[in-house]
Amino acid sequence: MPLPSEVSAAMAERAPSADKLDQLRDTIREQRDTLLEIEDLEAALKGKKLKLNALEREVLPTLFADAGVDKVGLEAEGNLPAYDATAKPYYKASIAADWPLERQAAGFNWLIDNGHSDVVKTIITIEFGRGERERAEKLKGHLENWGISFNEKLGVQWNTLTKLVKELIEKRGLMPPLDLLGADVGRVVKLTERKS
């Protein structure tokens, strides 16, 4: 059954002109091309960051060790300023929240069992239903007596844990279990622009 003539006329009036559709398609192409350029640039940036990390953490520390130096300078060249490359110890430790619970527990247990419970935070989460606000206010110190179930989660800030790992190694001469603490220890070579 054909559309009534009034409906057909109204649809024809609202139909975009060929010029507007061409302009719209051209703009969508520009959007698509920009999106693809951004993806290419992000992929290239990721590759450059991986290369820089390999230079800083693997290649240059080995070369510095082989040469027996901990600092090398580059004089200014053309429009590029002078830089100094310095080899330093590198520490980073983190018991990651996305680790399996058993692995997290092993890390926290090592900290607690070895006298470092002061760096561990305890987070207790309790859920109350509607209308239990007054009960929630009276909660402190009465959880077990009231039979309220709660979840306990342990945590430690990565920078606090990193500082502890560094202190254990450098000041106490102890090597903690790096895998339990999510620790990465080594040497890194960083560039800094030389101040003139």
Residue 153: name the closest of 111, 128, 112, 122 by CA.
Answer: 122
> What is the CA 119 to chain-centroid distance, rounded?
21
CB count, 10 Å around CB of 116? Answer: 18
CA distance 121 to 155: 5
In this predicted structure, which of 95-104, 148-157, 165-174 has the lowest mean pLDDT?
Answer: 148-157
- With cut-offs at 50, 70 and 90, classify the pLDDT of residue 110: very high
Domain ranges (residues) in the chain = 5-68, 91-193
CA distance 55 to 189: 8
CB count, 10 Å around CB of 66? Answer: 8
Q: Quick one: DSSP state of residue 172?
A: T
> Is the pLDDT score of 166 beyond 90?
yes
- The percentage of residues in the chain with a pLDDT greater than 70, rounded to a whole number, is 90
- Neighbour-count burial of 147, counting CB atoms closer than 10 A to its CB (0-12 exposed, 13-18 middle, 19+ buried): exposed
Averaged pLDDT for residues 105-126: 91
- With cut-offs at 50, 70 and 90, classify the pLDDT of residue 11: low
Strand segments, DSSP code E, in the chain are 71-74, 83-92, 121-125, 151-155, 184-193
> Is the pLDDT score of 78 beyond 90?
yes
